[in-house]
Amino acid sequence: MKKQKKAIILISVLVLLTVGAVFFVYLLANQSINENEINGSKNQPIIGNQTKADYPDYSTFEQLIDKPDSIIYGEIISREKRKIDIGDSLVLDYNVYKVKVNEVIKSRRTKAGDVIEVKVMADESDEDRTFKFENGNGYILFLSEYSSGTPASLINPYQGALLVKDDGTVVPDAMNTVFANDASVQEIFGKMTSELKKDDIVNVLTEKLSYSLESSANQLTVENEIKADYPHYSTLAEIFNTPDTIVYGEIISSEIQKIDIGAVGTDSSLIVDCEVYKVQVNEVIKSGLTKAGDVIEVTIAPDGPPARRSFEFENGNSYIFFLMEFDGTPHIRAALINLYQGALLVKDDGTVVPDAMNTVFANDNSVQEIFGKMTSELKKDDIVNVLTEKLSGSSLPG
């Protein structure tokens, strides 16, 4: 019996020693794995316990102009800490700055005088920057915008902002590989970085953006530089006959939505940011699917107004719209026949304002022939009455 007890005790001791050895080996292995993970991520920014994805870095001046949705000059007026859900239930800490917009260099929806929100991750502290974000300071901001109502973001922490000092001198971050590079600054602005002023940047950016727009005036630029030509109409008859619907209505709201424009008439997929305007229809001049009293959505693809137009699309303003409709298409309800001839602004006194690139309505000869007056004298009711009469049976010149 004693031998049996000794055997049991010996087996128990061996089992305990084995379990202890296994546990010790596990601890050593786990420590080694953790050290490797830490060493492997030393060069990566950390957000809480998560590794942050690398930001895109832009190596040329052209990229810094092209990539942002908005480029503005403004002043920080306040800051607050805020938790923001950026998707997939991932909530992060941000500093959210309210910025008073003084000048708009490039934008789809921001106007001078607006107060916008710009978010910067809380872990991207001022200690890592050449300059701080402070109330009362002015900055040129290169921003990405979001349709969800989320505050705008810098295109990246180091190239997304330029500090503008009281004397107008611009201070880039030391890690801004374009603006902190004397060679590239000299090539573009004809001076060294230390001599660069806010107005130098505003003037050159505006000039380059204007040239870019002029060079592609009859083209729509979409994501990844895919371009599609718009149809262009040279006579009033074409502008009246081509649309599915011609309506007079008021814009009541707008937002940026991601829309698959490749699904229209094709099997391909191309998702781009589009402006979608809700329009209260007051009068239907040419009837398609739309009736007076309807609220319709009018989709305008990227790089449309206000950057390229003589007038902006704004809530509360009224327009005559020349629209193509897409019955049964889940992505797009209606779209302008083209950027410049698809809408006429109607002012409070009823006067009609065509886009300067509308080669028909901005042409006094053709307007005189149809309406018996000059473009500057044209009223909304003139167009409604003549169009209704012509569309009911009479033919249009041209």
DSSP of 200-261: HHHHHHHHHHHHHHHHTTTEEE-GGG-EEEPP---SHHHHHHS-SEEEEEEEEEEEEEEEEG
Q: Which residues make beta-bridge pairs with 259?
A: 272
Residues of the chain with CATH 2.40.50.140: 61-212
Q: Could you tell me the sign of the dihedral formed by the alpha carbons of 207, 114, 110, 309, in that order?
A: negative
How far is it, in rounded angstroms, from Cα 92 to Cα 128?
19
372: left (phi over 0), alpha (psi -120 to 50) or beta: left
CA-to-CA dists, residue 119 to 98, 102, 122, 216, 322, angstroms: 9, 19, 9, 32, 38
Rounded Cα gap, residues 69 and 76, in angstroms: 19
Q: Is 98 helix (H, G, I), strand (E, B) or coil?
A: strand
- Residue whose token pair is 């300067």: 356
336: nearest Cα among 319, 349, 315, 353: 319
DSSP 379: B
Delimiting residues of CATH 2.40.50.120 domain(s) in the chain: 234-391
Beta strands in 87-147 (DSSP E): 91-106, 115-121, 138-144
Quote the Cα angle for 133-136-141, to 5°. 50
Class of domain 234-391 as given by CATH = mainly beta
Question: What is the structure's pLDDT at 311?
Answer: 80
Q: Which residue has the tokens 């009455």?
A: 385
Distance CA 271, CA 292 (A): 31
pLDDT of the chain, 398 residues: tens digit per residue: 444 544 444 445 444 455 455 444 444 444 433 333 333 333 333 222 222 345 678 888 888 888 888 899 999 999 999 998 877 778 889 999 999 999 988 876 788 889 999 999 877 555 567 788 999 999 999 998 876 678 999 998 889 999 999 999 999 998 888 898 888 888 888 899 899 999 999 888 877 765 443 333 333 333 222 233 457 787 877 888 888 889 999 999 988 887 766 544 445 566 677 888 999 999 999 876 788 999 999 987 654 444 456 688 889 999 999 998 875 444 457 888 888 889 999 999 999 999 877 878 888 787 888 888 888 889 999 988 888 777 665 555 54
Q: What number does CATH give the domain 61-212? A: 2.40.50.140
Position 127 scores a pLDDT of 58
* Tokens coding 76: 């920080």
DSSP single-letter state for residue 395 = P
CA dihedral 236, 237, 238, 241 (to 10 degrees): 130
Instruction: Give CA–CA dist 158/135, Å, rounded.
Output: 19
User: What dihedral angle (degrees, nearest 10) is formed by the CA atoms of 60, 66, 68, 72?
Assistant: 90
With contact defined as beta carbons under 8 Å apart, do 247 and 262 qualify?
no
**Phi (first) and psi of residue 56, to 5 degrees:** -65, 140
- Give the model's pLDDT for residue 125: 52
pLDDT of residue 320: 95
DSSP-derived 3-state class of residue 319: strand
In this prediction the pTM is 0.48
Share of the chain residues as helix, strand and coil, in percent rounded to the nearest 5: 30, 30, 40
Phi-psi region of 88 (alpha: psi -120 to 50; beta: other; left: phi over 0): left
Distance between CA atoms of residues 389 and 215, nearest Å: 39
Q: In which element (H, E) is residue 185 found?
A: helix 182-189
| Summary count for the chain: helices (H), strands (E) | 7, 18
